[in-house]
Amino acid sequence: MPQTRMHTARPTPSPRSLLAGRIARGTLLVLALTAIGGTVATVMARGGGGQVKVPTTGADFFQPGTQPSPKDPTIDPIETSISCTYCHSGYGDQIAPYDTWATSLMAQSARDPVWHAAVAIANQDANIGGETCIRCHAPGGWLAGHSSNGSIADLQGDDFDGINCNFCHRVVNPELGPDSAVAYPGDPADPDVPIISALAAQGLVPSGAGNARFVVDPKSTRRGPFSDVPQNLHGVEARLITSPYHRQSEFCGTCHDVSNPIYTKNPKTGEFQLNALGAAHPTQNPGDMFPEQRTYSEWLNSDYVNGVQYADHRFGGNDADGVVSSCQDCHMPKVIAGGCRFYEFGPPFFERPDMPQHSFAGANTWVVQAIRDGMLPEDADSIGLSQAAIDQATARTITMLQNASDMSLTQQGASLKVRVTNESGHKLPTGYPEGRRMWINVKFTNAKNQVVAERGAYDSATAVLSTADTKIYQAKQGISPAIAKITGLAAGPGFHLALANKVFSDNRIPPRGFTNAAFNAIGSGAVGYRYADGQHWDDTLFDIPAGATQATVTLFYQTTSREYIEFLRDQNTTDGTGLIAYNAWLAAGKSAPVAMDSAVIALATGNPADLNGDGSVNASDLAILLGNWGGTGSGDINGDGSVDAADLAILLSNWG
């Protein structure tokens, strides 16, 4: 596989030459592959045919909060993470903030090749559609005013530093009040008041979660949870501010609810309709916009708000009681360490029992590796992406995925029941819907340990999943007939993110404390599926095939499906980013599925009418069958999907 190089940003080549270089290399690659096999030759030509771009302008994507101010000398630009490394990196083993942050998806959000490819499609679908993507994935670049064309080609240098130290530690709580910030030492004035007042005067104070409506301190301050940090280490300008907000999920909620502002929900039909274009969203209420992601709102409507205790302490790191609540509890586990590298020297620096690890482990196990592989190794090393650090980050993510669910297996007569319980703080899976999925794989084996049947088989050579014979947990979004008419695209589920205005299906497993009413209200209800209130698990029944004596069941997660990455490659009519993302996916192992849970069950063979497997068909089996009458589950001896008279007849004919 020829190497394709992606945006690297550090060291910093000229952005235009970089993009030009990428396209040129992409084209060369097409030629090269054509010469080898001819398979990718049609890539650049396909797609687009007859599609009408929605004529949005920058105004349609406007959101409240701090606005870009490229030329204002009173506003400090976002500093690069490299300016923090002297004191916040290089101690402990994967402890220091920089060392773990660097290998997270949030650090790499602006170098992510899948994101580059998706932004290109967004700009094809809706004019300047990429503007909103840049605001959230590359906030430094957005604040610097590099997003007005919506194209990543306008991002430069440190814009690729992603969601970085200086950015997060300047974010201001938009709500003044009891949790307000305190500058120290001895400054009684709330430092947030002048910042929020200035925004209020312009009508820009954000309300409602999500859409990167952040408020950023114009000065390069350091806001963090502690009030006892030694002074003067950050320079006179960089005031230290204690910010309780940084320990709250609301802070993460700034970006972890994503709503498309070009649509407004029709309260009567529930349909999301395209706004009259050329103006900001009429209500600016995220709840009226199309709900692309709802991770924060899912959390807000779960039991995790009040804390959930895990006897096995699977989340939270060095917490005493095993209780976790906030996003930070699970995604920034507490470690025993100093917040800076001088703590080993003693006072005024010291070790903390609750230093938040900046690992932000989630579910993505391939993109950070692909970013390293798309750069020169020494360039990757210089931005914290050493192979050793990536390996540790990948291991943390796999652990996170394994902690996300529990699985139990039971045999019910002729069926195998697989129960998957969601142990995460939001839906499982949550967040970005396109191409992400979780599924159950079952291998039935016989007494000779030969596979007699497989369900949900995945072919790692072709990345093809057998979808018809198993349960796949995912959300499918797409476009309604009305939007199909405007754009010339086919109505139905798909991957046109910037145009999606309808949820076609969503069977992802809800978190503890789920209710249908609350989740429907936030736009994250089940669609085409049913969960009872409080149900944070899901059951799947598999017919046990003849001859099976054992089943091995594995729950898999995959970040990027073949269908999605091929879409990004084939629908790109504007630049080389789709092909670069596709090749990165190929080279990184096609987003290899991760096993979240695996278990083996010995299957009682014999009479399928012996529902409880006690060796005889008797009154207790009859009781099970009658107990499930009219439903599915145990008692559905003939496997026709319902426990009915036909099953009763089989049971009675096997009596004794």
- Contacts to ligand HEC from residues 310-369, by CB under 6 A: 315, 324, 327-332, 338-340, 342, 349, 352, 355-356, 358, 360, 362-364, 367
Backbone torsion region of residue 145, taken as left when φ is above 0, otherwise alpha when ψ lies between -120 and 50, otherwise beta: left
Residue 164 binds ligand HEC, judged by CB under 6 A: yes
Pick the stretch among 163-171, 514-522, 612-620, 626-634 that binds ligand HEC (CB under 6 A): 163-171
- Of the candidates 23, 176, 182, 229, which one interacts with ligand HEC according to CB under 6 A? 229
- For 97, residues 6+ apart whose C-beta sits below 8 A from its C-beta are 84, 88, 89, 165, 339, 358
User: What dihedral do alpha carbons 36, 38, 41, 47 form, nearest 10°?
Assistant: -140
Q: Is 155 in the site for ligand HEC (CB under 6 A)?
A: no
Q: Quick one: which of 320, 473, 317 has its CA closest to 396?
A: 317
Chain residues 85-144 in contact with ligand HEC, contact rule CB under 6 A? 86-88, 97-98, 101, 105-106, 109, 112, 114-115, 118-119, 122, 129, 132-133, 135-137, 139
Cβ-proximal residues to 208 (8 Å cutoff; 6+ apart), any chain:
284, 285, 286, 287
Q: How many CB atoms lie within 10 A of CB 590?
A: 18
Show contacts with ligand HEC in window 461-500 (CB under 6 A): 497-498
Which 244-273 residues touch ligand HEC, going by CB under 6 A? 246-247, 249, 251-256, 258
- The region, left, alpha or beta by phi > 0 then psi within -120 to 50, assigned to residue 210 is left
Centroid of chain to Cα 18 = 28
Q: By CB under 6 A, is residue 225 in contact with ligand HEC? A: yes
Query: Is 289 an interacting residue with respect to ligand HEC (CB under 6 A)?
Result: no
Query: CB under 6 A: which stretch of 29-37, 70-78, 193-201, 419-427 binds ligand HEC?
Result: 419-427
Kindly give, in sequence order, each residue whose CB lies less than 8 Å from that of residue 154, ignoring residues fewer than 6 positions away: 15, 141, 146, 147, 148
Q: Which of 56, 415, 424, 501 binds ligand HEC (CB under 6 A)?
A: 424
Contacts of 358 (CB under 8 A, 6+ apart): 97, 98, 100, 101, 104, 332
Distance CA 265, CA 250 (A): 24
Closer residue to ligand HEC, CB minimum distance, 412 or 507: 507
Q: Which amino acid is at 322?
A: G
User: Counting Cβ atoms within 10 Å, is residue 143 exposed (0-12), middle (13-18) or buried (19+)?
Assistant: buried
CA–CA distance, 457 with 445 (Å, rounded to integer): 14
Q: Which is nearer to ligand HEC, 229 or 624 (CB)?
A: 229
- Closer CB to ligand HEC, residue 15 or residue 384? 384
User: Segment contacting ligand HEC (CB under 6 A): 45-53, 186-194, 374-382, 430-438?
Assistant: 430-438
CB of 246 to ligand HEC, least distance (A): 4
Find the shortest distance in angstroms from Cβ 497 to ligand HEC: 5
Closest CA to 152 of 4, 293, 18: 18
Number of residues located near ligand HEC, criterion CB under 6 A: 99
Among 273, 403, 605, 632, binds ligand HEC (CB under 6 A): 403
Residue 157 beta carbon to ligand HEC: minimum distance, rounded to whole angstroms = 16
Q: In angstroms, what is the minimal distance from the CB of 495 to ligand HEC? A: 9
Q: How far is CA 169 from CA 14, 15, 173, 222, in A?
A: 28, 27, 11, 5
| CA 31/CA 74 separation, integer angstroms | 50
Closer of 500 and 551 to ligand HEC (Cβ): 500
If one asks whether residue 393 binds ligand HEC (CB under 6 A), the answer comes out as no
Query: Taking contact as CB under 6 A, which single stretch among the options 27-35, 242-250, 410-418, 621-629 is the one that binds ligand HEC?
Result: 242-250
Q: Which stretch binds ligand HEC (CB under 6 A): 39-47, 205-213, 410-418, 631-639?
A: 205-213
Cβ proximity to ligand HEC: between 44 and 497 the closer is: 497
Is there binding between residue 439 and ligand HEC (CB under 6 A)? no
Instruction: For residue 287, state whether it binds ligand HEC (rule: CB under 6 A).
Output: no
Work out which of 56, 173, 295, 507 binds ligand HEC, going by CB under 6 A: 295
The pair of three-digit structure tokens given for residue 1, joined into one six-digit string: 């596989």
Sites for ligand HEC among residues 619-648 (CB under 6 A): none
Cβ atoms within 10 Å, residue 14? 11
With beta carbons less than 8 A apart as the criterion, state whether 110 and 155 touch. yes
Residues 564-603 touching ligand HEC, rule: CB under 6 A, are none
Q: Phi/psi class of residue 108: alpha, beta or left (left: φ > 0; alpha: ψ in -120 to 50)? A: alpha
